Amino acid sequence: MYSSTKLVACVLIVAQLLGAIQCGVYDNTDSWLLSDKSKAFPENAVLGGYDSYGYENFVGRVLYSSSILPARVRAETGYATYNTDSIANQVTSYELLLSNETVSYDWVRSFDGFRERNAVSVGTSAANERVYVCRGRTDGGIFIGTLYLAQKVCFIRYENLPMRQLSKYEVLVRKHTPAAFTPFEVLVNELNNTQ
């Protein structure tokens, strides 16, 4: 019987031999702001859920071990945590997802690694697959988690709680809003009023 450490080491060696280990690449489709607790929290950060203590968690991303991963960030304290499909960790510096007048974000119900239209990808993993942002209700909160489509579950591991693997979850998707339309008459009236 091999110990799990040995198994992991073997998997890494085999992966290296095959040249499968890649560096995570950030996805630049969306706007992300590098931040930490010393910076003012942006008003247009995207809400993702709340943790067991009732703190709201906003959507962030971090680089960990050659993978770009979703993070959950508390506005009040800048406390940020994330998880892979095995480990849970915390960081002091992270990027926050921002919405604006034309792009906003929604959560849609999904399951089994189905690829949702306009799903937000944070970047790629060490295995060079896209990493998506999911969330699910567990452990007295709604937690942002990590979705690798091939693994078909939303991985959520928070602090010392056990790893959760949800096959039903929600996925973060991008929504384009057309710029506000200003009727011609309003423009003319404003012009007349200023004369």
Closer residue to ligand NAG in complex, CB, 17/180: 180
Closer residue to ligand NAG in complex, CB, 101/159: 101
Closer residue to ligand NAG in complex, CB, 3/100: 100
Q: Find the shortest distance in angstroms from Cβ 87 to ligand NAG.
A: 29
Q: Find the shortest distance in angstroms from Cβ 92 to ligand NAG.
A: 25
Q: Provide the binding-site residues for ligand NAG, judged by CB under 6 A.
A: 30-31, 100-103
Q: What is the per-residue DSSP string for the chain?
A: ---HHHHHHHHHHHHHHTT------B--SSEEEEEETTSPPPTTBPEEEE-TTS-EEEEEEEEETTEEEEEEEETTT--EEEE-SS-EEEESEEEEEE--SSEEEEEEEEETT---TTBPEEEE-TTS-EEEEEEEEETTEEEEEEE-GGG-SEEE--TTSPPEEESEEEEEEEEE-PPPP--HHHHHHHHHHH-
Q: Find the shortest distance in angstroms from Cβ 97 to ligand NAG.
A: 9
Q: Find the shortest distance in angstroms from Cβ 99 to ligand NAG.
A: 7
Closer residue to ligand NAG in complex, CB, 106/112: 106
